Amino acid sequence: MNNAGVSGHGKVEDTPVEEWDRVMDINAKGVFLGSKTAIPAMRRAGGGSIINISSQLGLVGVDNSSPQYQASKGAVRLLTKATAIQYAAEGIRANSVHPGPIVTPMTEGRRGDPEVYKLTVSRIPLGRYGQPEDVAYGVLYLASDESSYVTGSELVIDGGWTAQ
């Protein structure tokens, strides 16, 4: 499972190239390197499951998140699909998970700002942030044999955010 991620700040015109590169290196290149490293071992084992953590913002844009974060998570989505297609014949599956706002240290600052919290929750049809366990159960499914016919898919765990 590739689960590294950082966010950023600002709009496109305000984003320094160095900040763009930092977020892309961690969020997108990190997934690429993790997958690249795991594939030979999975091949030797006769198959495996690669699970890449993206975001609901890898599927849809939003006005109050950085462009580099959204672009990096979109890159994870399509890298996952390319990986799934390229390695399916070898029994290696690849899927992406797209969590919405989850109670984690990464969202602590946004949850601590009453205005941002209210706006965020208003965009979630279920009306709350998700819990880490909500994502963990989805990952467990993708890691298990129960998902043996699932590859190149996007598991969205976002409280309904992208259903709108």
Q: Which residues are catalytic?
A: 69
- 129/154 Cα distance (integer angstroms): 20
- 59/154 Cα distance (integer angstroms): 9
DSSP tag of 29: I
Count of all residues that appear for the chain in the document: 164
Strand residue runs (E) in the chain: 48-53, 92-99, 154-157
- C-alpha separations of 55 from 50, 59, 86, 114 in Å: 16, 7, 23, 22
